Amino acid sequence: MSLLWSLLVAALTISTASAGDEAALLAFKARLGDGAMVSWNSSVHFCSWEGVMCSRRHQERVVALSLHGSALTGELSPALGNLTFLRTLNLSSNGLHGEIPASLGRLRRLRILELSDNLLSGTLPVNLSSCISLTFMALDNNKLGGRIPPVLGERLTSLTRIWLLNNSFTGPIPASLANLSDLQYLVLSKNQFVGPIPEGFGSIQSMEYFFVTANNLSGMIPPSFYNLSSLKGLGVGGNMLHGSIPDDIGNKFPIMQILDLDTNQFTGTIPSSLSNISHLTTLHLWGNRLTGYVPPTLGRLEALEILDLSANMLESYDSEGLQFITSLANCSQLRWLALGSNYFEGQLPGSIVNFSRTLEKFWIVDNRINGSIPQDIGNLVGLHLLTLAINYMSGVIPESIGKLENLIELQVYNNNLSGLLPSSLGNLSHLSRLYADSNNLEGPIPASLGKLKNIFVLDLAKNYRLNGSIPKDIFELSSLSWYLDLSYNALSGTLPSEVGSLTNLNTLTLSGNQLSGKIPEGIQNCIVMEWLSLDNNLFEGSIPQSLKNMKRLTVLNLTMNKLSGNIPDVLGSIRNLQELYLAHNNLSGLIPTVLMNLTVLWGLDLSYNDLLGEVPKGGVFGNLTSKSVTGNKQLCGGIPQLHLVPCSTDPVRGSKTHKWKGLLISLAATGAILLLISVIVIIWKLKKRQKSQAQPITTEEQFPRVSYQALFRGTSEFSESNLLGKGRYGAVYRCILHDDDSPVAVKVFDLQQSGSSKSFEAECESLRRVRHRYLIKIITCCSSIDPQGQDFKALVLDLMPNGSLDGWLHPKENMYTLNNTLSLSQRLDIAVQVVDALDYLHNHCQPPIVHCDVKPGNILLGEDMSA
Ligand SMILES: *[C@@H]1O[C@H](CO)[C@@H](O)[C@H](O)[C@H]1NC(C)=O
Ligand SMILES: *[C@@H]1O[C@H](CO)[C@@H](O)[C@H](O)[C@H]1NC(C)=O
Ligand SMILES: *[C@@H]1O[C@H](CO)[C@@H](O)[C@H](O)[C@H]1NC(C)=O
Ligand SMILES: *[C@@H]1O[C@H](CO)[C@@H](O)[C@H](O)[C@H]1NC(C)=O
Ligand SMILES: *[C@@H]1O[C@H](CO)[C@@H](O)[C@H](O)[C@H]1NC(C)=O
Ligand SMILES: *[C@@H]1O[C@H](CO)[C@@H](O)[C@H](O)[C@H]1NC(C)=O
Ligand SMILES: *[C@@H]1O[C@H](CO)[C@@H](O)[C@H](O)[C@H]1NC(C)=O
Ligand SMILES: *[C@@H]1O[C@H](CO)[C@@H](O)[C@H](O)[C@H]1NC(C)=O
Ligand SMILES: *[C@@H]1O[C@H](CO)[C@@H](O)[C@H](O)[C@H]1NC(C)=O
Ligand SMILES: *[C@@H]1O[C@H](CO)[C@@H](O)[C@H](O)[C@H]1NC(C)=O
Ligand SMILES: *[C@@H]1O[C@H](CO)[C@@H](O)[C@H](O)[C@H]1NC(C)=O
């Protein structure tokens, strides 16, 4: 009976629970993105659903949910916590986001929690500490953060593997994790952990891989670690650890394979006992402050694949110092050997040609190595990368280099290599980067380089003695896309139009050679080119119009050639142009105003040419960050910082008027201005003899000039609608010189009527001397030639907004209102002001002036109704 009863209870429990598991799975599914798990449907029992595994003993209970790489999106449902029989939860490599539900803490049977490679965020729930069966926890490559709850270390005592690689965990590594006495893997790399490495880990005898690279840990490696004879991998690189490597390290880790101490602040020498770690495959010591000799016994590390000692202060003052290199020939698995940026000096041992053919990368860049490149370097057929750059190596580049058929990158720049470039270089069909600049190489560039079908960068600059013409074949290298730099050599001949085949090239630098002839129009086909430097050559002819097709051009340097002709207007359409250097050529003509359109241009050098006319002031010409136009004898105008003479013939272009405002004193409005000006009589004679020569210059110096075009535009082509008045001497127009300026009045002289232009100059000059609050002052003069070739003279005066006094006294409408009637006090003010002005003209002006036509029509009112 009691047996029966308990069976019944068990059956009931199972059935309710099973409904619970199915419901939980459906709840899990419901939170995933649309269209997920379509195969989870009622036509199939849930224990047979994809990724679901049920218990054999408790048939309706889910023990494993494994949906690795199933493109799941959405969030994790808290209902997962109802799958209380779950032993494996493997949802790695999906697109899950949101937090890890705290309800997972109910999964007391869970052994494997694998959620790597998702987008999970939030913190590690404290409740996970209830998953007391957990042996494996992997949360790599998520966006989890916060601190690791120390309680995990106290309770999850079965954990053997913890992977938290590449998240944003912060705070210290909890010391409690050292309670996990079965721990084999602890991988906390690429987080933001701070503080010291807890000493306690050193007593976990099961520890095999301890990786905390790329955090912000400080202090030393705890001495206890050197008791972990079980360690196979120790990675602490990329922290702020210090201390030295113990001399007997090699006896402490008998089965170690990976030792990564890079980019810390370790000091002292590399202990020779390291040579005893016979299983070592990877030794990363780069980026520390290690000193002294490298132990010559390193070659005993027969399993060694990667040795990186770069960026330390390692030395070799005598032949012994580089013996370790020779010894490494014994490392038959060696793939990477990095020795760059140390203080190694002495000859590169010839024995390097005996390195294993497995060697793929060899760096010894930036040391003090001398001697020559071994003849038989071509033996190292496995090489992908060879960098001997920035040393003192001399001799020739051996012909055998052409046998390195796997070579992708060759760097020999900044040495003293001499002789010819071996034509065998052309056999390096995989070569993508060749840097041989800054040596003493000489002779022609081998045409065989044209066979480098995968070349991406070719730099032969600054050898000074590479001569002959540039082989056409080089220009056919359509893979060449980063840069081609042949600058500062002795290359001659022309630039063939085949240069246009470099359709993928970003930067072409041919500066400092003796290239001659024209710049070929074909260069326009280099449509992605951003930087073109042909400076310091013998190029002649004009600047090609076709450059306009090089829309990406940001820097164009044609300095120091023999280019002639005009600066083509089309340069103004290369919108990306930031720097334009055309100095030291024979360019002539005007500076194209369209250059003002180049809004990102900041560097402009047009100096030492034969340019003439006015330097534009608008657009970029208004900004003097880096501009030069010196050494062009016939340029004038421009912004004052250029210190050019003002333009002597009237400029053809408009210019900024901001400064003119400062010259304004009074305003003029109606046709009366015409009379006002023209009836001024100079009593004290302006002796033409005395002044006619000096005057124009004075006038020019005094007034900023304005062009015919500017007045033509500003008055809408001297339209009727802008006509303010007409008189014997000409007409007065309302004029807007610049969009942002207030209107001015322009008096255009009718030269047939008013006589010689000298009287215009005289008026300019006399009016210039008139400085009084209540007298109109000239803003500027314009003396030019109109499109019909006729002399054109005009005065620019400020506009009086309130018209003439006459208009106020006798309104046209004959209707007196408050708005068009002057008050008594205003009338009084005006009278006083007129007297004041007349007094000035008669008594205080040099020369004295008599106004012969004082009448209301000639008295103009300013904004504040002052006369
Ligand atoms: C999960 O279990 C809780 C309590 O046992 C229950 O209230 C809830 O409905 C369950 N959720 C699902 C989706 O089964
Ligand atoms: C239900 O799932 C099975 C596979 O488990 C699938 O063949 C079937 O097409 C699914 N039915 C529906 C309506 O999606
Ligand atoms: C998770 O599932 C994938 C695919 O089946 C498997 O390769 C991986 O080993 C599993 N992870 C764990 C921890 O079992
Ligand atoms: C987390 O654990 C606490 C204590 O065990 C419990 O009270 C709480 O319900 C748990 N939270 C969830 C969401 O399961
Ligand atoms: C680190 O994780 C992020 C997701 O948080 C991922 O996008 C990135 O590729 C991972 N980085 C590496 C090196 O795996
Ligand atoms: C776990 O470690 C912490 C800190 O190291 C210690 O205080 C605690 O007693 C340990 N707990 C257990 C259960 O070993
Ligand atoms: C590392 O920690 C130091 C202080 O210990 C801090 O100044 C520095 O900003 C941290 N760096 C990063 C990358 O977190
Ligand atoms: C290393 O282990 C030995 C023996 O197990 C022990 O006596 C010694 O204290 C340990 N050293 C450290 C630094 O923990
Ligand atoms: C342009 O060419 C001149 C003359 O060779 C040189 O001095 C200058 O540095 C070059 N400027 C740039 C930006 O290349
Ligand atoms: C320069 O800009 C002006 C106004 O934005 C435009 O009318 C003119 O066409 C431009 N000139 C060139 C050459 O792009
Ligand atoms: C001049 O150019 C510089 C650099 O392009 C810029 O930072 C600065 O604002 C400009 N000044 C004026 C007055 O336009």
Which string of DSSP letters, residue by residue, matches 250-308?
GGT-TT--EEE--SSEEEE---GGGGG-TT--EEE--SSEEEEPPPGGGGG-TT--EEE
Cα(166) to centroid(ligand 5), Å: 6
Quick one: pLDDT at residue 696? 30
Tell me which residue has its CA closest to atom 1 in ligand 1: 82
User: Hey, is 317 helix, strand or coil?
Assistant: coil
Between CA 657 and CA 640 the distance in angstroms is 13
What DSSP state is assigned to residue 437?
-
pLDDT at 670 exceeding the cut of 50: no
| Strand positions, DSSP E, 669-710 | 680-682
CA 428 to chain centre: 33
Cis check for the bond before 847: say yes or no (omega within 30 of 0). Answer: yes
* pLDDT: which is higher, 831 or 276: 276
How much is the average pLDDT of 522-533?
95
> 306 pLDDT band (50/70/90 cuts)?
very high
- Say which range, 576-585, 625-634, 819-828, has the weakest mean pLDDT: 819-828
Ligand nearest to the CA of residue 160, numbered in listed order: 3
Q: What percent of the chain has pLDDT over 90?
A: 64
Quick one: pLDDT at residue 693? 31
pLDDT at 678 exceeding the cut of 50: no
* pLDDT: which is higher, 624 or 600: 600
> 809 pLDDT band (50/70/90 cuts)?
confident
- Provide the 10 A C-beta neighbour count for residue 703: 20
Tell me the two tokens of residue 274.
């390291």
Task: State the average pLDDT for the chain.
Answer: 86
For ligand 1, whether the C-beta of 24 sits within 6 Å is yes
Known catalytic residues are: 853
For ligand 11, whether the C-beta of 602 sits within 6 Å is yes
Beta bridge partners of 186: 162, 210
Q: Which of 25, 43, 50, 67 to mutate to test the pocket of ligand 2 (most atoms within 8 A of CB)?
A: 43
* pLDDT: which is higher, 709 or 7: 709
Q: Measured from the CA of 624, which atom of ligand 11 is nearest?
A: 1
For ligand 7, whether the C-beta of 216 sits within 6 Å is yes
Q: What's the per-residue H, E or C state across 626-678?
A: EEECCCCCEEEECCHHHCCCCCCCCCCCCCCCHHHHHHCCCEECCCHHHHHHH
Instruction: Supply the CATH classification number for the domain 47-146.
Output: 3.80.10.10
Strand 680-682 with 634-637, pairing: unpaired
Ligand nearest to the CA of residue 102, numbered in listed order: 4
For ligand 3, whether the C-beta of 90 sits within 6 Å is yes
Judge whether 406 and 430 are in contact, CB under 8 Å.
yes
Cα(594) to centroid(ligand 10), Å: 7
pLDDT at 593 exceeding the cut of 80: yes
User: Hey, is 238 helix, strand or coil?
Assistant: coil
The 10s digit of each residue's pLDDT in 215-226 is 999 999 999 999
pLDDT at 365 exceeding the cut of 90: yes
Cα(142) to centroid(ligand 5), Å: 7
DSSP string for residues in 170-184: EEEPPGGGGG-TT--
Structure-token match 């290199």, residue found: 325
The 10s digit of each residue's pLDDT in 399-452 is 999 999 999 999 999 999 999 999 999 999 999 999 999 999 999 999 999 999
For ligand 7, whether the C-beta of 168 sits within 6 Å is no
Cα(106) to centroid(ligand 4), Å: 8
Quick one: pLDDT at residue 267? 98
Tell me which residue has its CA closest to atom 7 in ligand 11: 625
For ligand 8, whether the C-beta of 227 sits within 6 Å is yes
Quick one: pLDDT at residue 695? 29
**Dihedral pair phi/psi, residue 29, rounded to 5°:** -60, -40
Quick one: pLDDT at residue 639? 84
Of 809, 839, 831, 812, nearest in space to 821 by CA: 809
In the chain, the N- to C-terminal Cα span, in Å, equals 124
> 850 pLDDT band (50/70/90 cuts)?
confident
Beta bridge partners of 276: none
Distances (CA, A) of 326 to 250, 274, 352: 21, 17, 6
pLDDT at 526 exceeding the cut of 90: yes
Quick one: pLDDT at residue 787? 64
Judge whether 383 and 428 are in contact, CB under 8 Å.
no
Q: Measured from the CA of 102, which atom of ligand 4 is nearest?
A: 13
Q: What angle do CA 631, 632, 638 make, to 5 degrees?
A: 105
> 740 pLDDT band (50/70/90 cuts)?
low
> 703 pLDDT band (50/70/90 cuts)?
very low
CA dihedral 472→475→479→484, nearest 10 degrees, is 120
Cα(204) to centroid(ligand 8), Å: 11
- Say which range, 72-86, 270-284, 567-581, 610-624, has the weakest mean pLDDT: 610-624
| Every domain of the chain and the residues it spans | 47-146, 371-541, 550-647, 649-691, 710-778+794-858
Cα(621) to centroid(ligand 11), Å: 11
The 10s digit of each residue's pLDDT in 464-498 is 999 999 999 999 999 999 999 999 999 999 999 99
pLDDT at 3 exceeding the cut of 80: no
How much is the average pLDDT of 751-771?
62
Q: Measured from the CA of 179, which atom of ligand 6 is nearest?
A: 1
Beta bridge partners of 581: 557, 605
* pLDDT: which is higher, 218 or 712: 218
For ligand 4, whether the C-beta of 609 sits within 6 Å is no
Between CA 247 and CA 272 the distance in angstroms is 7
Between CA 485 and CA 457 the distance in angstroms is 8
How much is the average pLDDT of 352-380?
96
For ligand 6, whether the C-beta of 540 sits within 6 Å is no
Kindly provide the b/e burial profile for residues 465-484, where b requires at least 16 CB atoms within 10 angstroms of the residue's own CB: ebbeebbebbbebeebbbbb
> 820 pLDDT band (50/70/90 cuts)?
confident
The 10s digit of each residue's pLDDT in 127-177 is 999 999 999 999 999 999 999 999 999 999 999 999 999 999 999 999 999
Q: Measured from the CA of 198, which atom of ligand 6 is nearest?
A: 5
**CATH among 1.25.40.80, 3.30.200.20, 3.40.630.30, 3.40.50.150 for 710-778+794-858:** 3.30.200.20
Structure-token match 């009727």, residue found: 720
Under 8 Å CB-to-CB from 409, ≥6 apart: which residues? 384, 385, 386, 387, 431, 432, 433, 434
Q: Measured from the CA of 579, which atom of ligand 9 is nearest?
A: 13
Between CA 816 and CA 517 the distance in angstroms is 80
Cα(750) to centroid(ligand 11), Å: 43
Q: Measured from the CA of 101, which atom of ligand 4 is nearest?
A: 13
Cα(62) to centroid(ligand 1), Å: 15
Under 8 Å CB-to-CB from 66, ≥6 apart: which residues? 51, 53, 88, 90, 91
How much is the average pLDDT of 659-671?
31
> 697 pLDDT band (50/70/90 cuts)?
very low
How much is the average pLDDT of 326-351?
95
Between CA 423 and CA 391 the distance in angstroms is 23
For ligand 9, whether the C-beta of 557 sits within 6 Å is yes
For ligand 1, whether the C-beta of 672 sits within 6 Å is no
Q: Sign of torsion, CA 171 175 181 184?
A: positive
For ligand 8, whether the C-beta of 224 sits within 6 Å is yes
Ligand nearest to the CA of residue 568, numbered in listed order: 10
The 10s digit of each residue's pLDDT in 150-164 is 999 999 999 999 999
**CATH among 3.30.450.90, 3.80.10.10, 3.90.1300.10, 3.90.1150.10 for 371-541:** 3.80.10.10
Q: Measured from the CA of 26, which atom of ligand 1 is nearest?
A: 13
Instruction: Supply the CATH classification number for the domain 550-647.
Output: 3.80.10.10
Between CA 489 and CA 442 the distance in angstroms is 9
Of 278, 159, 243, nearest in space to 259 by CA: 278
Between CA 388 and CA 352 the distance in angstroms is 12
Query: Helices 757-769 and 694-702 sit at what angle, rounded to 10 degrees?
Result: 50
pLDDT at 607 exceeding the cut of 70: yes
> 454 pLDDT band (50/70/90 cuts)?
very high
Q: What angle do CA 60, 61, 66 make, to 5 degrees?
A: 120
Same fold? 47-146, 710-778+794-858? no
Quick one: pLDDT at residue 93? 97
Quick one: pLDDT at residue 461? 98
